[in-house]
Amino acid sequence: MKVVHTIQDLRDHLRGQTRVAFVPTMGNLHDGHLALMKMARQHGDPVVTSIFVNRLQFGPNEDFDRYPRTLRDDVEKMEQRRDVYITFAPDEHEMYPVPQNYRVQPPDDLGDILEGEFRPGFFSGVCTVVMKLLSCVQPRVAVFGKKDYQQLMIVRSMCQQFQLPVEILAHETVRADDGLALSSRNRYLRPQERAEAPRLYVTLQSMRQAQRAQLAAGVCDLEVIEKEALDLMQAHGWKVDYMSVRRQRDLKRPAAAEVLAGEPLVALAAAKLGATRLIDNLEF
Ligand code: PAF
């Protein structure tokens, strides 16, 4: 596998390639990332990854400075799997050579809710870097994980709106044996917190269960389901940003009539355990 640090080198290596499959990452790779790369391999050739910790998507009090930067380990993991042909690992100057004055802004109705409400500027940071990376790599397909459900939707809609010739593929969330969604931030969890962390997914599953029971009884009261989930999480020491049931297609709150008519739903959650913020979701 080749590791390149400049856009010029990347373009030189990719000249003439028309079936590039791309997996953008911020590094500190785990099995979730490696699964995205494997999927990319099934949909294109060559596979390109990027490793870039994107300052623009971190808030002032977030973990940009301590975000794990583990390029050497990451390269080793990718070399073992042999799915990736080139890793693009630019430094900040290469990605943002002048102060980054332009931003790609997601629409308010998608960008300002849920994650966007609790992490202002996050999605504009993501859209800006993803737009830049897509422009550098020019892939035919790009693979994103469903764990970052709202990010996936926003990237998809951005590519449609800007008519980018790339297909965005979604990979199911990869989980540890106890159900915890894999994330680079899991490494911040202390042992006791790590033992508690699977509750996030368990609670999402109980939300799905409760919604199915309501549906079977011909009832729809999502607020009750959300409140029960919130109380449960708080009782176990979590600081919850949101536990919310939304429509899959646009992440808006569904009307009761829609739910009763079988509208596809997704429960999305973000909550802090100690200093670590985790997100997860479950479709139903
Ligand atoms: O999901 C991530 O790791 C990041 O948000 C991404 C898409 C690589 C952009 O920095």
The reported pTM is 0.97
Q: Give me ligand 1 centre to Cα 152, in Å.
A: 10
Task: Say whether pLDDT at 148 is over 90.
Answer: yes
Neighbour-count burial of 284, counting CB atoms closer than 10 A to its CB (0-12 exposed, 13-18 middle, 19+ buried): middle
CA distance 260 to 242: 23
CA distance 213 to 206: 10
Mean pLDDT of the chain: 97
Q: Which residues contact 214 (CB under 8 A, 6 or more apart)?
A: 220, 221, 225
Contact 21/163 with Cβ under 8 angstroms? no
Per-residue pLDDT reduced to its tens digit, 180-221: 999 999 999 999 999 999 999 999 999 999 999 999 999 999
Of 37, 130, 149, 281, best ligand 1 pocket probe by most atoms within 8 Å of the beta carbon: 130
Per-residue pLDDT reduced to its tens digit, 113-141: 999 999 999 999 999 999 999 999 999 99
User: For 49-62, what is the mean pLDDT?
Assistant: 97
The pLDDT confidence band at residue 101, using thresholds 50, 70 and 90, is confident
159-164, Cβ contacts within 8 angstroms, sequence gap of 24 or more: 159/134, 162/131, 164/134
Give the pair of three-digit tokens for residue 210.
């409760």
User: For 155-168, what is the mean pLDDT?
Assistant: 98
Q: Give me ligand 1 centre to Cα 198, in Å.
A: 23
Dihedral angle at the C-alpha atoms of 55, 107, 144, 53, nearest 10 degrees? Answer: 0
Helix axes 122-137, 7-14, angle to 10 degrees: 50
Q: How far, CA to CA in Å, does 177 sit from each of 49, 146, 182, 185?
A: 26, 18, 10, 17
pLDDT of amino acid 111: 97
pLDDT of amino acid 255: 97
Q: Give me ligand 1 centre to Cα 190, in Å.
A: 24
The pLDDT confidence band at residue 99, using thresholds 50, 70 and 90, is confident
Task: Say whether pLDDT at 71 is over 90.
Answer: yes
User: For 16-24, what is the mean pLDDT?
Assistant: 98
Classify the C-alpha dihedral 245-249-251-254 as positive or negative: negative
The pLDDT confidence band at residue 83, using thresholds 50, 70 and 90, is very high
Which residues sit with their C-beta closer than 6 Å to ligand 1? Answer: 24-26, 54, 57, 126, 129-130, 148, 151
Nearest CA residue ID for atom 5, ligand 1 = 126
Q: Which of 209, 249, 202 is nearest to 225 (CA)?
A: 209
Give the phi and the psi of residue 137 in degrees, each rounded to 5: -90, -35
Q: Tell me, what DSSP letter sits at residue 58?
A: S
Give the helix/strand (H/E) hosting 193. helix 191-196
Task: Say whether pLDDT at 98 is over 90.
Answer: no
Atom in ligand 1 nearest the alpha carbon of residue 126: 9
SS3 at position 13: helix
Catalytic hit among 33, 43, 171, 236: 33
- Respond yes or no: is residue 13 known to be catalytic: no
CA distance 220 to 225: 10
Nearest CA residue ID for atom 8, ligand 1 = 25
Q: Give me ligand 1 centre to Cα 48, in Å.
A: 14
Nearest CA residue ID for atom 6, ligand 1 = 25
